[in-house]
Amino acid sequence: MDEWDILLDTGEEKNEWDDEWFCQACEFGPMAEATKKCDRCGEKKDSKYPEEEYDEDGLLKEKYEEIY
């Protein structure tokens, strides 16, 4: 092998944290890949949240109610 081939080797490396996930709702984790629900809040593993509901700090945007 050439020296460049060794440097550019794109072989898949397995890290110990590849099979872990964090809860998107309460940020609890890491949890094993086999766990399908969060142990803390019960949210499912693959739940997604629309980004337009959150501000640049990651906090939920407040919805103001107009009072007449």
The answer to the question of residue 22 being in a domain is: yes
The number of folded domains in the chain is 1
The answer to the question of residue 60 being in a domain is: no
The H helix count followed by the E strand count for the chain is 1, 2
Residue 11 confidence class, pLDDT cut points 50, 70, 90: low
| Sign for the pseudo-dihedral over CA of 8, 12, 14, 20 | positive
C-alpha angle 29-35-42 in degrees, rounded to nearest 5: 70
The answer to the question of residue 61 being in a domain is: no
Measured CA to CA, the distance from residue 26 to residue 38 in angstroms comes to 9
| Mean pLDDT score, 34-50 | 83
Of 16 and 42, which is predicted with more confidence?
Answer: 42
The answer to the question of residue 3 being in a domain is: no
